[in-house]
């Protein structure tokens, strides 16, 4: 291969171009980078400064959301006790937008129909499977049932993941609240400061504490804001925190002392949960040890002896 075209000038030009492109990209990322914590706090409080509000929805997304809302409201699916319970579960999963309930109800309604139509196309029109008539019918019904339960499974998975993340972040957040309380900050100021500090590491807990801070400022009954925190997060530790803060507001007990006791209890609970998992580890590892490790160990240890015996018998 002739490499006469490759000269020092060409290499220097290429390196200069790569360096210039890297510098431009770094500058663009630094200029157009948006702080996600600030956006979350602004979204929670609903107070947007002039020129710093959320982006307007595009015409396509607005038309889609309006169409979903029209279908769901026509079928009267966003009213009643069950709709309120679903809205509370969506809030526990972190989905608090105005269209969250509408989208969930529309998916709950449309996914079984879409799955049934897809099953008809796959199994009956294109005959993509060699199943018999009863097998095709069972497969089609299975797809319909899967489409009906898919939104529920996704919602339950999102709630469990968010609950686990909040449980892991709560002791550290309580330690920060203790420091803020000992520094002389009020409950509102302490919640706001903790929200800013843990926003990048624990955004789920930061959202809940930020919303509680906003409710403490705007609701007439402060105890209601603290009780809303316990209702939004279906977690015993968060409910204990809400009860502790409510008692502090009611009886005037020292905030730092109450939070320090609760933080120590949560850390002990987390340590006990870790010890429980470690105690279950030998029983869990028994089956993989027998299935995967012991056969290989037997081959390594007994293989040479067996081969030696076979050679001795052959001679």
pLDDT of 56 > 80? The answer is no
258 neighbors 244 (Cβ within 8 angstroms): yes
As a whole-number percent, the residues of the chain with pLDDT over 70 amount to 77
- Given this model, what pLDDT does residue 29 score? 56
- Given this model, what pLDDT does residue 146 score? 87
pLDDT of 129 > 80? The answer is no
pLDDT digits (tens, 9 = 90+) for 245-303: 888 878 777 878 888 888 888 888 888 888 888 888 888 888 888 888 888 888 888 88
pLDDT of 310 > 60? The answer is yes
Mean pLDDT, range 115-120, rounded to an integer? 84
Nearest to 141 by CA among 112, 161, 169, 172: 112
Question: At which residue do the structure tokens 């008692």 appear?
Answer: 247
pLDDT digits (tens, 9 = 90+) for 136-168: 788 888 888 888 888 889 899 999 999 888 888
Residue 130 to residue 142: CA distance in whole angstroms: 17
Higher pLDDT, 64 or 21: 64
What is the longest distance spanned by two Cα atoms in the chain?
Answer: 97
Domain positions in the chain: 64-163, 168-271
Within 8 A by CB and 6+ apart from 86, the residues are 101, 104, 105
Q: How many other C-beta atoms are found inside a 10 Å radius of the C-beta of residue 42?
A: 17
Nearest to 255 by CA among 207, 209, 188: 188
pLDDT of 68 > 50? The answer is yes
pLDDT digits (tens, 9 = 90+) for 13-52: 666 666 666 666 655 554 444 545 555 555 555 543 433 3
Within 8 A by CB and 6+ apart from 104, the residues are 86, 90, 95, 151, 155
pTM, rounded to two decimals: 0.66
pLDDT digits (tens, 9 = 90+) for 210-248: 888 888 888 888 888 888 888 888 888 888 888 888 888
In this structure, what are the phi and psi dihedrals at residue 15, rounded to the nearest 5 degrees?
Answer: -65, -40
Question: At which residue do the structure tokens 């067996």 appear?
Answer: 306
Residue 101 to residue 232: CA distance in whole angstroms: 16
């Amino acid at each position: 291969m002739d490499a006469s075209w490759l000269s020092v000038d060409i290499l220097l030009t290429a390196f200069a171009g790569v360096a210039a492109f890297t510098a431009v990209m770094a500058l663009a990322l630094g200029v157009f980078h948006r702080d996600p914590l600030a956006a979350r706090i602004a979204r929670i409080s609903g107070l947007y400064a002039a020129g710093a509000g959320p982006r307007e929805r595009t015409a396509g997304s607005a038309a889609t959301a309006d169409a979903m809302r029209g279908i769901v409201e026509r079928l009267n699916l966003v009213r009643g006790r069950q709709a309120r319970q679903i809205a509370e579960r969506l809030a526990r999963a972190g989905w608090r937008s105005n269209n969250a309930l509408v989208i969930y109800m529309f998916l709950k309604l449309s996914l079984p129909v879409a799955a049934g139509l897809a099953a008809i196309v796959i199994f009956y029109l294109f005959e993509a499977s060699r199943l018999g008539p009863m097998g095709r019918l069972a497969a089609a019904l299975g797809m319909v049932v899967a489409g009906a339960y898919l939104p529920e499974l996704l919602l339950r998975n999102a709630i469990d993941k968010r609950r686990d993340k909040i449980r892991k972040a709560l002791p550290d957040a309580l330690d920060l609240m203790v420091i803020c309380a000992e520094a002389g900050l009020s409950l509102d100021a302490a919640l706001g400061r903790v929200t800013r500090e843990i926003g990048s590491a624990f955004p789920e807990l930061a959202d809940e504490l930020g919303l509680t801070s906003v409710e403490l400022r705007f609701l007439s009954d402060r105890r209601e804001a603290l009780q809303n925190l316990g209702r939004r997060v279906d977690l015993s530790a968060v409910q204990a925190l809400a009860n502790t803060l409510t008692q502090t507001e009611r009886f005037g007990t020292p905030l730092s002392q109450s939070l320090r006791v609760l933080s120590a209890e949560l850390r002990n609970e987390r340590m006990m949960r870790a010890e429980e998992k470690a105690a279950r580890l030998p029983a869990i590892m028994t089956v993989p040890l027998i299935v995967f490790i012991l056969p290989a160990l037997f081959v390594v240890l007994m293989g040479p002896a067996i081969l030696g015996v076979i050679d001795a018998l052959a001679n």
